[in-house]
Amino acid sequence: MTTTATDLVPFDEALERYDPVMGLEVHVELNTATKMFCGCPATFGGAPNTNVCPVCLGLPGALPVVNGKAVESAIRIGLALNCEIAEWCRFARKNYFYPDMPKNFQTSQYDEPIAFNGWTEVEVDGETYRIEIERAHMEEDTGKSSHVGGATGRIHGADYSLLDYNRAGIPLIEIVTRTIEVPGEKAPAVARAYVQQLRDLVLALGVSDARMDQGSLRCDVNLSLKPKGATAYGTRSETKNVNSFRSVERAARYEIGRHAAILDAGEKVVQETRHFHEDTGTTSSGREKSDAEDYRYFPEPDLAPVSPSRMWVEELRGTLPEPPPQRRRRLQAEWGFSDLEMRDTVGAGALELVAQTVSAGAAPQAARKWWLSELARRANEQGVELVELPITPEQVAQIQGLVDAGTVNDKLARQVFDGVLAGEGSPAEVVEARGLAVVSDEGALSEAVDRAIEANPDVAQKIRDGKVAAAGALIGAVMKDMRGQADAGRVRELILGKLS
Amino acid sequence: MTDLISLNAAGLADELASGGTSSAELTRAYLDRIEAYDTTLHAFLHVDAEGALAAAHEVDRKRAGGEELSPLAGVPIAVKDLFCTVGQPTTCGSRILEGWVPPYDATVVSRLRRAGLPILGKTNLDEFAMGSSTEHSAYGPSRNPWDTERTPGGSGGGSAAAVAGRLAPLAIGTDTGGSIRQPGALTATVGVKPTYGGVSRYGIVALASSLDQAGPVTRTVLDAALLHEVIGGHDPMDSTSIDAPVPPVVEAARRGDVSGLRIGVVKELGGEGFQSGVQARFEEAVELLVGAGAKVVEVSCPSFVKALATYYLVLPSEVSSNLARFDAMRYGLRVAPEDVDDPSAEQVMAASRDAGFGDEVKRRIILGTYALSSGYYDAYYGSAQKVRALVARDFEAAFEQADVLVSPTAPTTAFKMGEKLDDPLQMYLQDVATIPGNLAGVPGISVPAGLAEDGLPVGFQLLAPLQADDRLYNAGAALERLLLEKWGGPLTPPEVMA
């Protein structure tokens, strides 16, 4: 059974009859210096198959050794999600054949995760929702296949495939929620807020770059519907590798509509993995997941068990950043934001960006203004997240600094944003290169005012007659003459001085 | 040259140290032996004359320069073809790795190189060490120097045949269920399986990770101890490697004093199913030890009767996963399926594995895949783990009553080629006495105990508690000395000896 976009039941209508049940699996790629089980650099990029060794290539005889830093990161993530930390746990082998998996098994944790039974709270539209965390476990990433030829970029129909094992063995933490049951209309936004908050959390922990666009933070959205009032869960779909916060929300909305259409037609939802398509906002069938898929998990005999001492765990607890809800409340108080301003900031995924901009010296309201208006508009136009814009919070603070110093006005500042976003350099370099600085040369300004008075004798006379409001027309003429690069306040002073 | 060939490794080390010979001369002598006799024995899959001689000259140069050398420096050695070796193929006795030359050395191999032991070549084995006769080698079986119509045991039959046939003074093997000790018994060589984790597994192509252990194959107990010291000790590249000093094995081998030692005869590892001549030599050896001051106790380890069945669930399970990497994608044999145009990766994997693996390997992969399957896991793999814990507990209890446990190493003497090839269960029974030690990780040694009624060698097995490997060497050396006194010299195979 496959459905197309035209079969979707509209979101609101679907929620009249069904309640969504979600589960979210987030993979966080750790930013450790080396891979999970060997000494190869765990860096992003690099020429294919250069960051490899006998261990991560799975050569005969090679053995894994656990990266202690990765265990530390896993424990800190677990603690930040209020999890219990296992006193003793093991890795397991997940057996299946695939060319990008060097050993044809993935070394992962299975029934003995390092962290389990946790929770976190997210905020949507001012409401708080508690998300239960089932587990956070350690595993290794696979290599990367590129399928060449064929229409879809999938293995099916490809002429050949290229394999890059640089990514093989990069440490991952998989964070799995328990089922999330929140009011249906909030479900997609809650999913998004949760992923956003996880990202902020791992960034604050300093354990990952958490770049969804680069795949260092990946989310699978598991979703099923149950008829209103029913208690039994329906069959779920697993939408894989949803690569932006916005997509998390869109994928959940899409799947709600798709499942509703299937159920309305009296048909059965197929348990399968699905791929999300950023361009159309739709999902399509991946592979069917049946009971026949048997990973034959068993404890990894090549690795000693991991048994973090309680003392170490408590030591790590002492290194945790402030929990997100407290942090939000504290920042709101410090910044003097209204509830609405705070909600918008959080909702736009701009909380950490604003915080970093404030840290870099900008006033909170100014930081909020730039991120939620000027930059939000641009991100929206480009269909990207704020964080993906090629501008840093430090640069935003520098631009605000230029405004505060009177070097540019708000209007010129927008051109500075254009320049920085276009990759023309730092704000100062853009001002310099584009010649955007406000003209503070009194002589040039005075001459421009004189020209405006001469060109507009009628207006000048009105001002002389005491109609000060008419000065606006002359200011406009001067600003035009100066191509905007003048301090409007100073121009006004000069005009009134000359005509009084 | 016969003088050199008749010396054991400790004797050769003394000759080298005193300038009586050079490593180059010695290595050349062994290469000549290999050339003369390996067409008969087929102990080697690959001989590296050039590499061995280069290493020998390097040691000679260092010795001439007065550099301090490892005790075994300059004594040549053979290495089972399951260890990764830079510059020499590593086939594991399988078609699927034919011609594969590893880009790295196993830790054991790099320790041998560092200690200056020239590596003569790679020895034959049952494919991926699965078997007890070397008949499962894809490159043909090795033959027993005591009777070339018979197998030298397995899987490490190549290493044992090389040492017994005087084609190498020393060899390295691996023991997962008895692959060092059983060939030792069948060829009258000394074979040691150290405590699990005592010798690094890094670079040994895995059979069953939780059971595999590398160890010495030698002519004497002291030689084994000297070699154990070279290869043993912690390796950060193997997370199951024990982070503790090597037990004082050489000192123990030199001591060889059993007075007051409690020797536990394991009831379940003897009697029914054991050849009468094997049982007789075993009992005589126990008497000899008693005569030297040891005390005998009979101990019972009831779970040992389930050890073989347990082993054949644990081992295939790990095999099914360990051998999954041989998929023709990155190295080794690649076969395109017949009658398929434009085959998929999966079809190439299947065709290559079908062509590259032998029957015994396939049998175990299928067994293990089944044992780990959802719905069967608890009944098979899960139950096996429980019995494994019982075996370990039986050992612990037995070692409260005895300092070492003893049994015949193998139930029979060397069997004829083909005799058990079509009967896997009979073949598996060869390891009935050695397998419990692997399941519990405890160390074991096989020491030659004389010839049975059929004129073929019998092995005497000693087992010690975890990390008490030195006890094996102490008691083993005592028994060896007593037997040598009795025989008036070492047991040497009648055939292929110059």
pLDDT one-digit tens code per residue, B439-482: 999 999 999 999 999 999 999 999 999 999 999 999 999 999 99
Interatomic CA distance for residues B268 and B296, integer angstroms:
16
Is B370 a member of any domain? no
- What pTM value is reported for the model? 0.88
At A384 the pLDDT is 82
CB contacts < 8 A, A to B, total 102
Nearest chain B Cα distance for residue A52, angstroms = 12
Q: Which of residues 375-404 of B touch A (CB under 8 A)?
A: 377, 381
Instruction: Give the list of residues 6+ apart from residue A311 with CB closer than 8 angstroms, or none.
Output: none
pLDDT(A28) > 80 = yes
The backbone torsions φ and ψ at residue A184, rounded to the nearest 5 degrees and listed phi first, read -50, -45
Contact: A97, B327; criterion CB under 8 Å: yes
Q: Is B155 a catalytic residue?
A: yes
Give me the residue label for tokens 């083993």. Answer: B476
Q: Which residue of B has its CA nearest to A106?
A: B321
CB contact under 8 A, A104 and B327: yes
Is a pLDDT exceeding 60 seen at residue A6?
A: no
Position A11 confidence tier, pLDDT thresholds 50, 70, 90: very high
> Is B232:B199 a contact under the CB 8 Å cutoff?
yes
Q: Place B2 in a pLDDT band, splitting at 50, 70 and 90.
A: very low
**Paired tokens of B256:** 């060889």
Which one of B106, B239, B330 has the shortest CB-CB distance to A102? B330
Q: How far apart are CA A248 and CA A282, in angstroms?
A: 11
- Residue A244's pLDDT is 87
Residue A476 has pLDDT above 90, yes or no: no
pLDDT > 90 fraction of chain B, expressed in percent and rounded:
95
Q: For residue range B239-258, what is the model confidence (pLDDT) as tens digits?
A: 999 999 999 999 999 999 99
Distance from CA of A66 to the nearest CA of B (A): 8
Q: Summarize pLDDT for A94-127 with one digit per residue, the tens.
A: 999 999 999 999 999 999 999 999 999 998 988 9
Q: What is the mean pLDDT of residues B203-208?
A: 98
Q: Mean pLDDT score of chain A, rounded to an integer?
A: 91
Partners of residue A161 in chain B, C-beta under 8 Å: 345
Taking contacts as CB-CB distances below 8 angstroms, the residues of chain A near B103 are 54, 59
How far is it, in rounded angstroms, from Cα A256 to Cα A239? 12
Residue among A105, A64, A170, A306 at smallest CA distance from B239: A64
Peptide bond into B209 cis (omega under 30): no
CA angle B135, B138, B143 (to 5 degrees): 35
The answer to whether B462 touches B447, Cβ cutoff 8 Å, is yes
Which residues have C-beta within 8 Å of that of residue B456, sequence separation ≥ 6? B146, B147, B150, B186, B413, B414
Residue A260 pLDDT greater than 70, yes or no:
yes
Three-class HEC string of A305-332 = CECCCHHHHHHHHCCCCCCHHHHHHHHH
Domain presence at residue B159 = yes
Examine the pLDDT at A420 and tell me if it is beyond 60.
yes
| Catalytic option among B22, B23, B80, B446 | B80
Q: Report chain B's C-alpha Rg in angstroms.
A: 21
Residue pair B47/B120 in contact by the 8 Å Cβ criterion = yes
Q: What is the mean pLDDT of residues B409-431?
A: 95
Average pLDDT over residues A337-342: 92
Residue B231, number of CB atoms within 10 A of its CB = 24
SS (H, E, C) A366-414: HHHHHHHHHHHHHHHHHCCCHHHCCCCHHHHHHHHHHHHCCCCCHHHHH
Q: What are the φ/ψ torsions at residue A129 (nearest 5 degrees)?
A: -125, 135
Number of H helices, E strands in chain A: 17, 14
- Is B89 within the bounds of a domain? yes
The alpha carbons of chain A give a radius of gyration, in whole angstroms, of: 28
Amino acid present at A106: Q
The domain that holds B413 is classified in CATH as: 3.90.1300.10
The DSSP secondary-structure symbol of B380 reads: I
Using an 8 Å CB-CB cutoff, list chain B residues near A60.
84, 90, 92, 97, 100, 102, 205-206, 325-326, 331
pLDDT of residue B403 exceeding 60: yes
Contact B295, B265 (CB under 8 A): no
Which residues of chain A have a CB within 8 Å of the CB of B236?
65
Nearest residue, CB atoms, B237 vs list A65, A104, A296:
A65
Longest CA pairwise span in chain B (Å): 74
B413 Cβ contact partners less than 8 Å away, ≥ 6 residues apart: B186, B275, B277, B278, B452, B454, B456, B457, B458
Residue A325's pLDDT is 82
User: Which residues of A touch chain B, with CB atoms under 8 Å apart?
Assistant: 54, 57-66, 93, 95, 97, 99, 102-105, 155, 161, 163, 291, 294, 296-298, 301-304
Euclidean distance between CA atoms B377 and B380, whole angstroms: 5
**What's the pLDDT at B497?**
58
- Looking at the structure of chain B, the number of domains it has is 1
Residue count (chain A):
500
What pLDDT, in 10s, does the model give residues B98-155? 999 999 999 999 999 999 999 999 999 999 999 999 999 999 999 999 999 999 999 9
Chain A CB within 8 Å of residue B104 CB:
yes
Residues of A in contact with B325 (CB under 8 A): 58, 60, 102-104
Cβ A70 vs Cβ A36: under 8 Å: yes
What is the average pLDDT score of chain B? 96
CA B135 to CA B155: how far, in whole Å?
A: 9
pLDDT digits (tens, 9 = 90+) for B328-371: 999 999 999 988 888 888 999 999 999 999 999 999 999 999 99
| pLDDT surpassing 90 at residue A148 | no
* Structural domains of chain A ordered from first start: 5-315 (no CATH), 322-434 (no CATH), 442-498 (1.10.10)
Going from the C-alpha of B247 to that of each of A96, A119, B195, B395, the distances in angstroms are 41, 49, 10, 19
- Tell me what the mean pLDDT of segment A423-429 comes to: 91
Give dist(CA B426, CA B12) in Å, integer.
40
Segment A40-62, tens digit of pLDDT: 999 877 899 999 999 999 999 99
pLDDT surpasses 70 at A291 = no
Range of the domain at B263: 2-303+389-487
Q: Do B206 and A302 touch (CB under 8 A)?
A: yes
Interface test with A, best of B196, B202, B439 (most A CBs within 10 A): B202
Burial environment of residue A237 by CB neighbours within 10 A (0 to 12, 13 to 18, 19 or more): buried
What pLDDT, on the 0 to 100 scale, is given for residue B414?
A: 98
Is residue B494 domain-resident?
no
Kindly report, residue by residue over B180-192, the tens digit of the pLDDT.
999 999 999 999 9
User: Is residue A488 over pLDDT 90?
Assistant: no
- Categorize the per-residue pLDDT at A3 as very low, low, confident or very high, splitting at 50, 70 and 90: very low
Measured between beta carbons, which residues in chain B are less than 8 angstroms from residue A105?
321, 324
Average pLDDT over residues A187-207: 94
Confidence of residue B1 (pLDDT cuts 50, 70, 90): very low
Q: Does B318 touch chain A (CB under 8 A)?
A: yes
Q: What is the pLDDT of residue B485?
A: 96
Q: Which residue of A has its CA nearest to B331?
A: A59
- DSSP annotation of B146 reads T
Q: What is the pLDDT of residue A155?
A: 66
Active-site residue flag, B420 = no
Judge whether B332 lies within some domain.
Answer: no
Taking an 8 Å cut-off on Cβ atoms, the answer to whether A61 and B102 are in contact is yes
Residue of B325, B357, B381 to mutate for A, most A C-beta atoms under 10 A: B325
**Domain assignment present for B311:** no
**Nearest residue in B to A298, CA atom:** B372
Per-residue three-class SS string for B209-238: CCCCCEEEEECCHHHHHHHHHHHECCCCCC
Nearest chain B Cα to A62, which residue? B203
Closest CA to B437 of B210, B178, B246, B224: B178
Section A387-402 average pLDDT: 93
* B295-299 β-sheet, strand order: B44-47, B119-123, B77-80, B170-174, B214-218, B190-193, B444-451, B457-463, B404-408, B262-266, B295-299
What is the DSSP secondary-structure string of B351-370? HHHHHHS-HHHHHHHHHHHH
The string of pLDDT tens digits covering residues B312-339 is 999 999 999 999 999 999 999 999 998 8
Q: Is residue B23 in some structural domain?
A: yes
Whether B348 maps to a domain, the answer reads no
Q: Which band of pLDDT confidence, cut at 50, 70 and 90, is reported for residue A243?
A: confident
Instruction: Say if residues B142 and B151 touch (Cβ distance below 8 Å).
Output: yes
Measure Cα distances from B195 to B213, B291, B322, B406 in Å: 8, 29, 22, 16
